[in-house]
Amino acid sequence: MNDPQRISFQLLNSSFKIPKIKRTETKAKTNYPDIIITQTEMFRIFHNLTILFVGDSSIRTLFRDFTKFFSKNRLLENTEAQSQHGEYKLVEGETRLKTGGSRGTPEYKDIRQYECQSSSTRLIYIHLPTIFGESPIDLT
């Protein structure tokens, strides 16, 4: 029977070479993350629902990501996500319900809505300072 210490000693002293592993080709690099859920699944999950986003420019970027996915079946590109100042081209189905004041001030008002006809989903974004004081939208 072979002695394990002797075998390991022989392996160390032999001219053993680790085989090279061939790299597989990678797919083309995109400027937006891979999506692990399909648009059809999103339509099914959020069918007839209203999703409310309340917050600052970071939450507006999340709202924008959802609108892009519902409308174009893709997430925001990295450059789009980095420009969080809120002045972007509206997508089809998106409207600004209320706007006013200068960005960065307490008087700044911003309410946006996106309606997806395919899933009857409604997304609403309200900039946090907008909800202080009088009600920004008619709730009756």
Is the pLDDT higher at 139 or at 29?
29
Residue 94 CA to residue 53 CA, distance in Å, equals 14
pLDDT value, residue 6: 56
pLDDT attached to residue 123 = 95
The pLDDT of residue 3: 58
Can you give the residue ranges of every domain in the chain?
A: 51-134
Residue-wise pLDDT for 102-116, tens only, equals: 777 777 888 999 999
Does pLDDT of 23 surpass 50? yes
**pLDDT: is 111 or 89 the higher one?**
111
Pull the structure tokens for residue 9.
Answer: 């000693």
Write down the mean pLDDT value for the chain.
Answer: 76
According to the model, what pLDDT value does residue 12 have? Answer: 57
* pLDDT value at residue 135: 44
Q: What is the pTM of this model?
A: 0.66
What pLDDT score was predicted for residue 134? 47
The distance from CA 39 to its chain's CA centroid, rounded to whole angstroms, is 13
pLDDT number for residue 21: 58
Which two tokens mark 129? 């300072």
